[in-house]
């Protein structure tokens, strides 16, 4: 299955600032996804990162707050903009590849705390 | 719309006992897949088991088995001979193909605690 490197693993940020999370995959993948997991909650899909075009956002998530880039088939970034304490969450990158785990692999997550 | 429901927020089980984690789902798709993931305190998502909607036999992976009852739209995870290391959050998820999308939708999760 695909191997994902997600960075940073954790960070503590000041409110009002922005943080960019990186997701690097060791092979070309068809689809990449970004999830948010608020404390004690389940995973909620933020958006699907599309190679060469704008990401597809889920209801309740907007590009201005969570801009996403995907310049090629192995790399994507998620930026959390103008952060507030409510953005304190685990952010996870996931990919859908052709083999392994019936397609889906997750990064190790970024644990983000806003102070 | 697809929906996954896990009605057990927390479960406490004695070591070496079997445990069943409940999952029901709702979808209008004919083709779908059901997944179970384990999330330890470290936060990583560990794939456990998969069941396709057209699979006639229940999936098994070592100590994990999936009790798939399609008519009842349930996909319960059974862990046999539980171990202390099984203590974690467990998520049921479903993949559908609505409008070409292959997104995973997750349930609320069940926190499993194994007592020695």
Cβ–Cβ under 8 Å, residues A96 and A84: no
Q: What is the model's pLDDT at position A100?
A: 55
How far the first Cα of chain B sits from its last, in Å, is 41
CB contact under 8 A, A45 and B104: yes
- CA–CA distance from A48 to each of A73, A76, A111, B3 (Å)? 13, 10, 20, 19
Cβ–Cβ under 8 Å, residues A106 and B44: yes
Q: What is the model's pLDDT at position A53?
A: 85
Is residue A45 predicted with pLDDT exceeding 80? yes
Question: Measured between beta carbons, which residues in chain A are less than 8 angstroms from residue B103?
Answer: 33, 45, 48
Is residue B102 predicted with pLDDT exceeding 90? no
- What is the chain A residue with the closest CA to B107? A42
Chain A interface disruption, residue of B103, B105, B109, most A CBs within 10 A: B103
Q: What is d(CA B81, CA A48) in angstroms, rounded to the nearest whole number?
A: 38
Q: What is d(CA B76, CA B22) in angstroms, rounded to the nearest whole number?
A: 5
Q: What is the mean pLDDT of residues A7-24?
A: 97
DSSP lists the bridge partners of residue B36 as B49, B92
Q: What is the mean pLDDT of residues B33-43?
A: 94
Q: What is the mean pLDDT of residues B66-76?
A: 96
Q: What percent of chain B has pLDDT over 70?
A: 96
Q: What is the model's pLDDT at position A70?
A: 95
How far does the CA of residue B28 sit from the closest CA of chain A (Å)? Answer: 19
Question: What's the pLDDT band for B99 if we cut at 50, 70, 90?
Answer: low
Q: What is the model's pLDDT at position B114?
A: 97
Question: What's the pLDDT band for B101 if we cut at 50, 70, 90?
Answer: low
Exposure on the CB side of residue B54, measured as CA atoms within 13 A: 4
Of A13, A25, A8, A1, the closest CA to residue A82 belongs to A13
With vertex at residue B8, the alpha carbon angle to CA B67 and CA B4, rounded to the nearest 5 degrees, is 65
Q: What one-character-per-residue DSSP string does B37-90 give?
A: EEE-TT---EEEEEEETT--SPPEETTEEEEEETTTTEEEEEESS--GGG-EEE
């Amino acid at each position: 299955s695909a191997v994902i490197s997600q960075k940073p693993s954790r960070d503590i940020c000041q409110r009002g600032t922005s943080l960019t999370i990186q997701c690097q995959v060791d092979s070309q993948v068809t689809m990449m996804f970004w999830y948010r997991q608020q404390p004690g909650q389940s995973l909620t899909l933020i958006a699907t990162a599309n190679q060469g075009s704008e990401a597809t956002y889920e209801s309740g998530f907007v590009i201005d707050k969570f801009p996403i880039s995907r310049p090629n088939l192995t790399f994507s970034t998620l930026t959390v903009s103008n952060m507030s304490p409510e953005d304190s969450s685990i952010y996870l990158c996931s990919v859908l590849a052709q083999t392994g785990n019936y397609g889906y692999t997750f990064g190790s997550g970024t644990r983000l705390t806003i102070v | 719309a697809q929906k996954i429901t896990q009605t057990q927020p927390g479960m406490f089980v004695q070591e070496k006992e079997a445990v069943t984690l409940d999952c029901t789902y709702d979808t209008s798709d004919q083709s779908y897949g059901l997944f179970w993931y384990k999330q330890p305190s470290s936060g990583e998502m560990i794939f456990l088991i998969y069941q396709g909607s057209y699979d006639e036999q229940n999936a098994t992976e070592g100590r994990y088995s999936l009790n798939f009852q399609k008519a009842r739209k349930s996909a319960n995870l059974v862990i046999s001979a539980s171990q202390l290391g099984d203590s974690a959050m467990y998520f049921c998820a479903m993949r559908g193909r609505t409008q070409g999308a292959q997104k995973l939708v997750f349930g609320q999760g069940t926190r499993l605690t194994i007592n020695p």
